[in-house]
Structure 1
Amino acid sequence: MKNMHWLILSICLLYIHPTKSLLPPDDSSCSNQCFHQLPSECPSPENPCRCRQLTNCQKAAVCCNVNRFTLKEGLACGNITAASQIQSLHIRNASFDSFNLSANQNVWRNLRYMTITDGHIKKIDGEFAKQNSISCLNLSSNHINSIEDRALNTLFNLSFLDLSHNNLTDVPSFRKDHTIFLDISNNMYLNCSILTNTLQSHPEIAFVNENQTFCYPTKDLDFGWFQSQATLAFSQVKAKYELEKNCHQNCSCKTVSVNLAPGKMAMFEVEMNCANMSFLNLPVPLPDNTVSLDVSNNNITSIKELSEPSYQNLRSFIADNNKISSVQPLEGTKFISHFNTLSLQRNKFKFLETYVLDNIQFERNFNQRKLRLGYNTLQCDCNTMKLKVWLLSKLSHIPDYNHIKCDNLNVRIIDLDASKMCQSPQDWTDYIYYIITAEVLLLVGLIAKVSYDYWVFKTAGYLPWPANRMPRLPCDWLCE
């Protein structure tokens, strides 16, 4: 809104500047924008001369209801010639298949304000003479379909150009080596790519009536896959341009689609590319509604920024060839629950936390979800068998599973043998079990033998062999 106020103020200053005014001087009754006269100022219908000089405005004239022939006759009979030095001219309700600017050059040469409105003109062709003084040109409300490329190129003093309320599909060519105020509102067939290219190529152009300027988005140049009969306001096109121009730290931003809802501003989906930037950390914050981020070939060590609010809409994250060592920061993020692509190839993983990977849902509804972990070499041990089991159950979603290997064994994770990886701990455990079992059996046998000997001694009065061959011990009296 502040920019709009500044723009309006700037236009007003141009209008009242004593040397660069867009309005005829000396008479307040002529102080309409770019010299615009009401139909009441036209010659009367009974007057055969369709042009007349105005008595209330200095060096000003008006022509009404003219065609190719009656315009030429009217200029002559109204004494609107080079000698009269008319500076302000309004042509109303002109009917031309093609309005040739090269005609009547002797009159156009002296003009500072030229207005042609409310007519039926299909095309503007020809060109103004190089020695002209036109600073304000108003061609609004004429149903113009096209303006020839060279038609306006000789307007060296042009400050205001009004092309509103026509049927233009393009912004015509004109000299843009200084600030020019352009009103191209209410041309309902404008292509958004045209406005975008104009913003990129000519930042010195100040657009007037932005809220009434609309265009059709295109599939290939503007908004990705989006294409419909709905139109975009210029303010939305400008927001897209500013977003791409001011991307984070020299990254490149590209709008890939736009979501339109009645009564709401367009919501752009953004792809951001920050590859090969020597980043040490992930960029923060991301532009609003960023859905894809590529930070490949940097020096990033952690992905903890994925929990930042600006990452909440991210669906594709590519961080290949970095120094990331853990997937643990993925736990609890929105990204892990709705991503489409996660690529962490060629990083510094030594372990992959399976308790985090288990949180990734790969049901049938997520057939497009892809996870790339290839070209990482892990330190493998018996615990790595959990990762192997997880990989084998998700092969269709992990295209590069063949390239996840063990650094210490030079073997693929999916080829690990549990009997070899977990052999040593399992053998020692078995030996301990055997020893404990043997000790229990010996203890039970000893108790049984002692009990048997005691029973024989009590019933038969003697000790069975080998108890009667054993020497007496000092503690034997306890048993007697």
Structure 2
Amino acid sequence: MANFGIENKILQYLIIILNLKYLSATHDSNGNSSCVLYEQKFQLKNCVLINHSHLECNGNYNFCNDNKSEFFMLNTILIPYDSILKLSISDSSKLIVDPRNIIKTFPNLRVLTILRGKLIKIITSFPAEAKISEIRIDRTKLDTLPDDVFKYLSLPHAIDLRNNALAKINPESFNITSLTSLYLAGNPWKCNYNMSWILKINNNSLAMKIKDTEKLHCTSPYEGRPLFAVVEIIETLRNECKQTVCDCELIHVVGPRNSHQQINNKRQLMAFVAVNCSYRGLEEMPDFIPTNTTRLYLTGNKIFDLTKIVTNPVYREVRDLYLDDNLIESITILDGSYWLEHFRVFSLRGNKLADLPTYALENVLVQGENAVSIYLGNNPWTCDCLFTPGFQDLLLQYTNIIKDIHDIKCNLLINNGENSGKLIKDLTRTEICVMPNEFFLHPIDILNIILATTILLIIGKFIYDYWLFKRTGILPWIVTKIP
């Protein structure tokens, strides 16, 4: 019996030695691991068996079970691989996971938890034979998931992906009948139309399975805004934009950031939309533009009439309007309009403007605080004594707002070439008001000369009369006639 006990112990030690050999990842001639999840091997000394089925590991691991062994050793105790139902990994400094190897190592695994640390990649999908019912990956550096990472699982009822670096997910990967709970908060979600699946709320949709929708927030450019509400705005904009020939973009959203108040409705946010209808061959301004349009580009069309800015309410919230390179000859229709009093940017470069209501524009600039930029260059401006002096004064007074003053020039085809092409800001009044072959002196100047000459004559006559009286005692003729 004693010999049998010794032989039994020797057999156990042989099994332990064999299992330790198989546990270490093998290497090829180049020194690369044959089962690469991380550069280091599976360090059993960092693992603790919480109970008979829960293995908790801390550090960096390489799970490589080659099926040559059914046991692994932990603290001199042989543990069957298939007895582990729950595996927890935490605080890895750099972890790349291959779910196939985890399931191959622990075939009966039910719960997988990866906490903290720098999980940076999951390189394959979970295999169909996996029996996992719960997956939790929390507070790691994971930023992408394979498109089919969970697609082949049939048993999971809860997946927790909170507090990672995920910007997007493929909803098809979560098309699992058994899934009842999905947690996604704490990730920097990229809010765009690719997230529109979250709006499809019905009994079988993935959106209904998300338990923390109100805690999902966008990353830049809508930093901290509630994901659901922003995506709702984007989807509405996408549908409205289809009614136009334009390109549309949500450029900014104003509202609470990371507020504890639940905000799931787009009406609780203020959106700013840019619509680009440039070079579309438009002969008039569109009858419809998407809601919340604040910036509108209509450059390079054939628009000549601005009446719709005044009469159509869709333009009421447009603050930046770009109408460069059109056929606009007048903006008089905008005089006194709500839009002219509230615009921020107004660009009319390259049109057919010869003049404009200077007084109306000046009133807006004096009284309003909204105007930031006006562009008027490359128009055939009239340079005459009636319009140009006031226009020039406006340009010089508001150079901080009229941004292209160096492109505002006299029409090349007028003034017999005298002022054509000259910068209006640099013209003198003589250049503006005196035409070629015209008498050099202005009528007012002639009147001033006559008055000055008359005054000199009167003074001269007074001096002569005084001298004559002193010499001869004869009073001036006009004095003798005074009664």
Q: TM-score, normalization: structure 1? A: 0.55
Q: Which residue of 2 aligns with 1:393?
A: 397
Letter in 2 for 1:257: H
Distance 1:147 1:394 in 2: 53
Alignment check: 8 A CA contact 1:127 1:152 kept: no
- Please say if 1:310 is aligned against 2:305: no
C-alpha distance after superposition, 1:353-398 (max 9, x if no partner): 23432332247956x7222111111345443244344334334432
Alignment check: 8 A CA contact 2:126 2:152 kept: no
Q: Map of 1:87-166 to 2, 5 A cutoff?
A: 94-97=87-90, 101-103=99-101, 105=103, 116=111, 121-122=115-116, 125=122, 127-128=124-125, 132=128, 139=134, 143=138, 145=140, 153=148, 157=152, 163-164=159-160, 166=162
Q: Which residue of 1 aligns with 2:251?
A: 256
- Please say if 1:351 is aligned against 2:355: yes
Alignment check: 8 A CA contact 1:108 1:128 kept: no
Q: TM-score, normalization: structure 2? A: 0.55
- Please say if 1:275 is aligned against 2:278: yes
Greater CA drift, 290-299 or 165-174: 165-174
Letter in 1 for 2:249: K
Of 434, 438, 443, the residue aligned with 1:420 is 434
Q: Which residue of 1 aligns with 2:414?
A: 408
- Please say if 1:187 is aligned against 2:184: yes
Letter in 2 for 1:327: I
Distance 1:208 1:330 in 2: 50
Q: CA deviation at 1:275?
A: 1.5
Distance 1:161 1:404 in 2: 72
Q: CA deviation at 1:345?
A: 0.9
Alignment check: 8 A CA contact 2:181 2:211 kept: no
Q: Do the aligned partners of residues 121 and 74 (structure 1) sit closer, same or farther apart at CA in structure 2, a change above 3 Å counting? A: farther
Of 334, 341, 351, the residue aligned with 1:337 is 341
The size of the alignment, in residue pairs, is: 340
Q: CA deviation at 1:103?
A: 4.1
Q: CA deviation at 1:168?
A: 2.6
Distance 2:206 2:159 in 1: 14
Alignment check: 8 A CA contact 2:151 2:174 kept: no
Q: Which residue of 1 aligns with 2:219?
A: 218
Q: Do the aligned partners of residues 196 and 398 (structure 1) sit closer, same or farther apart at CA in structure 2, a change above 3 Å counting? A: closer
Alignment check: 8 A CA contact 1:377 1:404 kept: yes
Q: Do the aligned partners of residues 180 and 243 (structure 1) sit closer, same or farther apart at CA in structure 2, a change above 3 Å counting? A: farther
Q: Which residue of 1 aligns with 2:66?
A: none
Q: Which residue of 1 aligns with 2:328?
A: 324
Of 225, 234, 237, the residue aligned with 2:231 is 237
Distance 1:282 1:211 in 2: 46
Distance 1:161 1:394 in 2: 66
Distance 1:183 1:333 in 2: 56
Distance 2:378 2:188 in 1: 46
Of 161, 165, 170, the residue aligned with 1:169 is 165
Alignment check: 8 A CA contact 1:105 1:128 kept: no
Gaps of 5+ in 2: 1-50, 58-71, 448-483
Distance 2:393 2:143 in 1: 70
Q: CA deviation at 1:259?
A: 1.0
C-alpha distance after superposition, 1:271-302 (max 9, x if no partner): 22221121222234333332221111111112
C-alpha distance after superposition, 1:133-177 (max 9, x if no partner): 67x976455636355967674655569995346323216776959
Alignment check: 8 A CA contact 2:350 2:378 kept: yes
Distance 1:115 1:126 in 2: 20
Of 343, 358, 361, the residue aligned with 2:365 is 361
Distance 1:168 1:348 in 2: 56
Q: Which residue of 1 aligns with 2:35?
A: none
Alignment check: 8 A CA contact 1:94 1:121 kept: no
Alignment check: 8 A CA contact 1:137 1:161 kept: no
Alignment check: 8 A CA contact 1:140 1:164 kept: yes
Gaps of 5+ in 1: 1-47, 51-64, 79-90, 432-480
SS in 2 for 1:258: strand
C-alpha distance after superposition, 1:306-329 (max 9, x if no partner): 233332332221110001121123
Distance 2:181 2:166 in 1: 10
Q: Which residue of 2 aligns with 1:373?
A: 376
Alignment check: 8 A CA contact 2:126 2:149 kept: yes
Q: Do the aligned partners of residues 233 and 190 (structure 1) sit closer, same or farther apart at CA in structure 2, a change above 3 Å counting? A: same
Q: Do the aligned partners of residues 235 and 259 (structure 1) sit closer, same or farther apart at CA in structure 2, a change above 3 Å counting? A: closer
Q: Which residue of 1 aligns with 2:207?
A: 207
Distance 1:236 1:184 in 2: 23
Letter in 2 for 1:408: I
Q: CA deviation at 1:342?
A: 1.1
Q: Do the aligned partners of residues 396 and 102 (structure 1) sit closer, same or farther apart at CA in structure 2, a change above 3 Å counting? A: closer
SS in 2 for 1:360: helix
Alignment check: 8 A CA contact 2:183 2:211 kept: no
Q: Do the aligned partners of residues 49 and 289 (structure 1) sit closer, same or farther apart at CA in structure 2, a change above 3 Å counting? A: same
Q: CA deviation at 1:338?
A: 2.9
Alignment check: 8 A CA contact 1:244 1:252 kept: no
SS in 2 for 1:317: strand
Distance 1:106 1:140 in 2: 17
Q: Which residue of 2 aligns with 1:3?
A: none
Q: Which residue of 1 aligns with 2:302?
A: 299
Letter in 1 for 2:294: V
Q: CA deviation at 1:178?
A: 11
